[in-house]
Amino acid sequence: MSILKSLPNLNVLPHSVVVAADGESELGLVRFGAELKLAILAKRADSPAFDGFEGERSTRTGYTLLLGPTSARNAHGLRNHLPWLKPRPLGLQTSVGMGDRLGLATPGHVRAVRAVGGKVEPIFCQQSIREMTRTRRTPQQVMDDATWGMFQEGWRGGAGADADHLKTTEDIDSCLAAGFTFFTIDPGEHVDNSAESASPSELLEKLGSLPWKLLDDKPSWLTSRYVGPSFDVEEHTITFDEHTLVKAAVKYGQAVAHVAEMYRHLIKATNGWNCELEVSVDETEQPTSPTEHLYIAKELRRLGVHWVSLAPRYVGRFEKGVDYIGNLAKFEASFAVHAAIARELGPYKLSLHSGSDKFSVYPIALRQTHGLVHLKTAGTSYLEALHTIAQIDPAFFRSIYVFARERYETDKVSYHVSAELARAPEPRDVQDKDLPRLLDQFDAREIFHVTFGSVLTMRGTDGRLRFYDQFMEFLRRNPEAYAANLEAHFVKHLKPFVSLP
């Protein structure tokens, strides 16, 4: 029986309420218009239920009530008092990362996971260093926002926390301090894409300049390990000739060394406790071949690196916010070999980066990996925020679309997208009732997707943020509409991953 829910003049969010086992105290979230506050109710004013929290206290019907802000201190207190809110490693379970660039999407994500039966391990706290920079959020803010969202919905099923696309040891340290448990290393800057077109003499020159000391290796040792032997990977046999090996080493050798250094730093900082690693080589110019995947995995394993998932660059195009572009039969044939390598040399999960809205490949991924798969989404939750705005405030949505079109050519540079402004409908040609459909139009959807940083951080001539304050205020005043859109959208993402018995 909850006393907190019965208090007058408090709009308590019912799923958030936690009653202590001894019945002496309760915690919950209370809504005041667009603002949320933490509520703690206890029989005694000196109750340990108040330890670590800040806020204003008052007396209600013989109880002490604390109402506090959704601050970093109070989020930390929640994680200490309610251990299920602390992130944890997820291991080899089928998992889905649900990035939240705004800090308000977790309630909708939780509802989607519940709707499909909770058979997928979730990561509600996920954001890349690049996204944090563009949205001007800190790792701690990302962690705390996810904590409040899980608490609001009463989620007790556990979750991971993905510090995504880390490039430096400083990135690791800042995310580790915030409590992240899943560390995605992005060595993309150390991948030599020129290896694909280099001549044999150029490849040999590049091979000589690899960091052999960091790799604990020599060219002759490398050759003896790979050239000659054949590698049986389930029903597949993979072999290397000298050219294939040299190209793989030149392309990925620096990246392997960087991942090993990052991993050693992480293990030293954590003593190997409560953390897991993902390796990402998806943001490269060419697909990762099976021989290259094998080289990466065997070299990382030789160097003592342990990882739970790996993201190759797959054939076809995984563009932002839209379905897979390419031949699905060719994708499945190639993906099947990658999945076999992951089982043989791990087992570890294959990770689908830029995985938002890739509905045509989800059944293939689950079928070929036998559930050893991790889906990573990010911008699709931002797009559902825009969807909600389009439904309720067409004028505001239209102004964002006009601005996004202005920013697209600049902002698309760091993304793999193929949208063209000329193919996206002109704002003046779209009636208010049809504005939500823009998010179903390929070019407009990608335009919205890649301009999120500008929309959220750009300032006008008066020095004020052009959209951010109104954007966030809108979502805070329409939380149920946003959560409903997120739930419906993510159920479509999650359902294909719960079909295994």
Q: What range defines the domain where residue 11 resides?
A: 4-71
**Residue 134 has what pLDDT?**
85
Q: Which residues, in sequence order, are CB contacts of 55 under 8 Å at separation 6+? A: 37, 38, 40, 66, 67, 68, 69, 74
Cis upstream peptide for 290 (omega within 30°): no
Order across the sheet with 56-60: list the strands. 11-19, 25-32, 35-42, 63-68, 56-60
The residue with greater pLDDT, 332 or 133, is: 332
| Number of structural domains the chain divides into | 1
**Residue 283 has what pLDDT?**
79
Whether 108 maps to a domain, the answer reads no
Whether 100 maps to a domain, the answer reads no
Q: Would residue 278 show up in a list of annotated catalytic residues for this protein? A: yes
**Residue 501 has what pLDDT?**
53
Whether 39 maps to a domain, the answer reads yes
Whether 19 maps to a domain, the answer reads yes
- Phi/psi at 441 (5° precision): -90, 125
Q: Would residue 100 show up in a list of annotated catalytic residues for this protein? A: no
Q: Where are the beta strands (DSSP E) in 339-489?
A: 349-352, 373-377
pLDDT tens profile 60-119: 989 999 999 999 999 999 999 999 999 999 999 999 999 999 999 999 999 999 999 878
Whether 238 maps to a domain, the answer reads no
pLDDT tens profile 279-311: 999 978 899 999 999 999 999 999 999 999 999
pTM value is 0.96
Whether 215 maps to a domain, the answer reads no
Residue 8 has pLDDT above 70, yes or no: yes
Whether 314 maps to a domain, the answer reads no
Mean pLDDT of the chain: 96
CA 408 vs CA 17, 333, 396, 400: distances in Å? 44, 35, 18, 12
* Catalytic entry in 100, 131, 145, 164: 164
Whether 25 maps to a domain, the answer reads yes
* Catalytic entry in 192, 278, 357, 384: 278
